Structure 1
């Protein structure tokens, strides 16, 4: 048999961890010297130790680990536990990936701050437009909050329009409005259509009114990096004595869901004189 130190080295764990597992009855030693209290382990106990460590690394609690290694959980239950853990990890990876993209976009925006120009901003009137749209609520107006909410809306919108035999008549348009509940915003994912709004469909058909004056700029690239173009608009609005009225409307001139870095989007912010 092996001393606790030897067994810890063989199992690549700490002596402290083995003592803890013994204390909670998860992995008691094979023998304990009645005079010295020294713990001794058999080589075949490494199999149980390895299973414990593997299950812990999957994110199971020690109680769940105990049930599995003691065969108190059948294969179906174990499969369900692991699938749940897989879904949790996938959601965390997706959230971290979106957060990382946001950080990188912020860094690029900071790096280009000194070279940004307002020369490409155009003040113009926006004509009224009819759109078919779906809506959802995002936790905030930041790109990491908006992107995962708006992206699934467009495939579903196009699917419903195809089923209703309603073809798009112009570009896709995204717009936003406050919910009155903290930072949350209502996300409207729409596309220009030329249909009777009273016809029964499973999408909303809305007439967006004309905007007498809007500061506009064309953004090239992913919407995850839209902040740099928004900064251009903000500077132009401030320098020219205007104030922004509401959130920016996004008109996707070249919608590239599979290659967002190739997208072309016109940002439109309604403005009025101070």
Structure 2
């Protein structure tokens, strides 16, 4: 038999790791001296130690190894792990792309994020406003109207609210805007309050801080990022108003998230 130190050297597993695997029931010593507490292993257990180590190097969790030991099909576990790694690979490559883009830009002003917006139900309203800032004054009345019409309808958690601009050109006045807010279910409609389902959407996102009349600079940055990295725009841009006139005194503190749907 091998003492735990000898077994540690031959298996290339630390004593701490061996004690941990013993505690989790993965690699139990063949014998434990009741008086000294010394642990002894059979040389045949080196094969099991190597198997556990190889699984851990593949990124399998303790729970996954335990499941395999209890009869779960190894191939199914590895296929599932491969899917997770492929997803992580795409995420890492996306992050590297963003980093290189920022490094290539002379002025690092914005950080671009690629993310998925889950499918959801929204209530929405299409209204015409005199100026962009007037939208902030209308949104509360739209919320109130929807609540009075559908007292049972609740907004999703986390909340998701955004505005889209429906005109086919930039306009300084008489601007058509669609306000959307995610809710848990469909509800009763009116002339101003309507409901629809929106599919899962991949977007590029940046956060802009400042007055709305200067937000075009942020759009310019984001659209250049789209073109430089081979994305295609697949829908209208979305503006999510996080901080604004309702909670910040200075326009310099207004915070808006711009989302561009892409494929």
TM-score between both structures, scaled by the size of structure 2: 0.47
TM-score between both structures, scaled by the size of structure 1: 0.46
